[in-house]
Amino acid sequence: MLLEQGTTLRALEPCARHSLRAPLRSCLLQDEQFADLADMSLSGDITVEGEITVPVGAPSPDEDFSTLDEPVRETIMRDLKAVGKKFVHVMYPKKSSTLLRDWDLWGPLVLCVSLALMLQGGSADSKEDGGPQFAEVFVIIWFGAVVITLNSKLLGGTISFFQSLCVLGYCVLPLTVAMLVCRLVLLAGAGTISFVVRLLVVLAMFAWSTLASTAFLADSQPPNRKALVVYPIFLFYFVISWMILTFTPQ
Amino acid sequence: RHPLATFFHLFFRGSAIVTYLFCDWFSNSFVACFVTILLLLSFDFWSVKNVTGRLLVGLRWRNQIDEDGKSHWVFEAKEVSTVAASSEVEAQIFWLGLIICPVIWTVFFFSTLFSLKLKWLALVIAGISLQTANLYGYIHCKLGGQKSISRTTSFV
């Protein structure tokens, strides 16, 4: 686009803060619909006056200041809705990058606590109250998730640390459901049939967990590294499934 | 000006510490104590990060992921031209609570380690990391240092 006296104006930055008084044709260079306009050269003289302020880097803090002043109830509701949306997304996994952008670790915490509670020894004696096993489940889940995340970062993944923890934690949901089903089945009896039922349920949920987390995480890797990233996830959920399957109440 | 926020700022942290110290009086079950303290620590982390920081001292820090998938740590500080006397007190309470509690949890860490009550170690480590994260975030906001983000945060 040519202006008077042969100056060429190139607008490469988003035009959120232009204080240019001239027509905003420079902004429209960004928009593909108006790509044709950008090629037009103007026959007449157009005088352009004013300043261009071009923002560099992060989005302007003005629009984010609203979160500094919002009421508390709104903050709570916003976070709760985000957690709920993620739970739904795990049950119906679709590749969605917007989901990953607002990570939070509340879901993994709740799932971890409920899984650990259900995996407890269940003995009435207060001395042997399953303390070490409870902390063990916590350590396995969180340490395992951290190790997988480090592995994927070291392999050059683009996903951030907490996003990966978030996904891995949320994808424990199917296995938590499997644990619930197993406990209910075990109430009915501990014979061969119940074992077969439990095995099938755990296998199905393990496959679901692994597929759900792979759907989110494998995309962030270069194609020849996908298997290297998927197999630790496989192992992680395998260990959890093993703990669920071999659980027998005292 | 925000008595409720000040109360909650200290309430969750204080009750987590008190529960840890006196859990044997309340309940025989390790699991109940563990879950209670963990929930208190989580509520404390969330409320200090999202509510009390911005209400008491006008600071906020968070993580934002843009379209490329890169994560930015954003540290915001409110421009405050005049500081009223009551909010001075609140700010002091805020910073005192923020600094003293991680120190206390670090003391618990060493006492747990040396008395070999290792089943509590996971909880103490969780407590230290959550509270130190808030401390670090708010100190960064206070110093206004978006340029001086260290290597670890850019890795994360």
The predicted structure's pLDDT at residue B104: 93
Q: Tens place of pLDDT for every residue, chain B, 156 residues?
A: 778 888 888 899 999 999 999 888 878 888 888 899 999 999 999 989 888 888 888 888 888 877 776 778 888 777 665 556 667 888 888 888 899 999 999 999 999 999 888 888 888 999 999 999 999 988 888 887 444 444 445 555
Mean pLDDT of A156-183: 88
Angstrom distance (rounded) from CA A93 to CA A128: 40
Mean pLDDT of A156-172: 86
Give yes or no for a contact between B120 and B110, defined as CB atoms under 8 angstroms apart. no
| Residue B74 counted as domain residue | yes
| pLDDT band, very low/low/confident/very high, at A27 (cuts 50, 70, 90) | very low
Angstrom distance (rounded) from CA A240 to CA A250: 20
Provide the residue type at A4 as one letter: E
pLDDT at residue A43 greater than cutoff 70: no
The predicted structure's pLDDT at residue A78: 85
- Phi/psi at B64 (nearest 5 deg)? -130, 135
Residues of B in contact with A161 (CB under 8 A): 71, 155-156
Q: Which residue shows structure tokens 């026959």?
A: A43
The predicted structure's pLDDT at residue A80: 87
The predicted structure's pLDDT at residue A128: 53
Provide the residue type at B145 as one letter: G
| pLDDT band, very low/low/confident/very high, at A40 (cuts 50, 70, 90) | low
| Residue B156 counted as domain residue | no
Q: Which residue shows structure tokens 């270069």?
A: A222
Number of domains comprising chain B: 1
The predicted structure's pLDDT at residue A57: 40
| pLDDT band, very low/low/confident/very high, at A112 (cuts 50, 70, 90) | very high
Pick the range with the lowest mean pLDDT from A30-34, A72-76, A133-137, B76-80.
Answer: A30-34
The predicted structure's pLDDT at residue A174: 92
| Residue B110 counted as domain residue | yes
The predicted structure's pLDDT at residue A69: 57
Whether B65 sits inside 8 A of A117 (CB atoms) is no
Q: Which residue shows structure tokens 């949306």?
A: A85
User: What's the mean pLDDT when you consider all of chain A?
Assistant: 73
Whether A153 sits inside 8 A of B71 (CB atoms) is no
The predicted structure's pLDDT at residue A117: 87
Residues in CB range of A204: below 8 A, 6 or more apart: A178
Chain A interface disruption, residue of B23, B30, B41, B80, most A CBs within 10 A: B30
State which residues form the domain around B44. 3-151
Mean pLDDT of A85-108: 77
| Residue B146 counted as domain residue | yes
| Residue B142 counted as domain residue | yes
Neighbours of A176 (CB within 10 A): 19
The predicted structure's pLDDT at residue A11: 40
| Residue B55 counted as domain residue | yes
The predicted structure's pLDDT at residue A16: 41
Q: What is the ipTM of this complex?
A: 0.78
Residues of B in contact with A106 (CB under 8 A): 42, 46
Percent above pLDDT 90 for chain A: 22
| Residue B91 counted as domain residue | yes
Residues of A in contact with B78 (CB under 8 A): 65, 68
| Residue B141 counted as domain residue | yes
Which residues of A sit within 8 Å Cβ distance of B?
A: 58, 61, 64-65, 67-69, 72, 75, 79, 97, 100-103, 106, 109, 113, 117, 120, 126, 129-132, 134-135, 138-139, 153, 158-163, 220
CA atoms within 13 Å, Cβ hemisphere of A18: 15
